[in-house]
Amino acid sequence: MLENRQFKIFISIVFIQLISSKQVFAYLDPGTGSYIFQVLIAALIGGLVTIKMFWRKIINFIKNFFSTKH
Which residues form the interface with other proteins (CB under 8 A)? 17-18, 20-24, 26-46, 48-49
For the bound state, the minimum distance from the C-beta of residue 59 to other proteins, rounded and expressed in Å, comes to 20
**Residue with smaller CB distance to other proteins, 13 or 62:** 13
Distance CA 31, CA 40 (A): 14
**Residue with smaller CB distance to other proteins, 17 or 64:** 17
Distance CA 37, CA 35 (A): 5
**Residue with smaller CB distance to other proteins, 46 or 64:** 46
Half-sphere CA count of 11, side-chain side, radius 13 A? 6
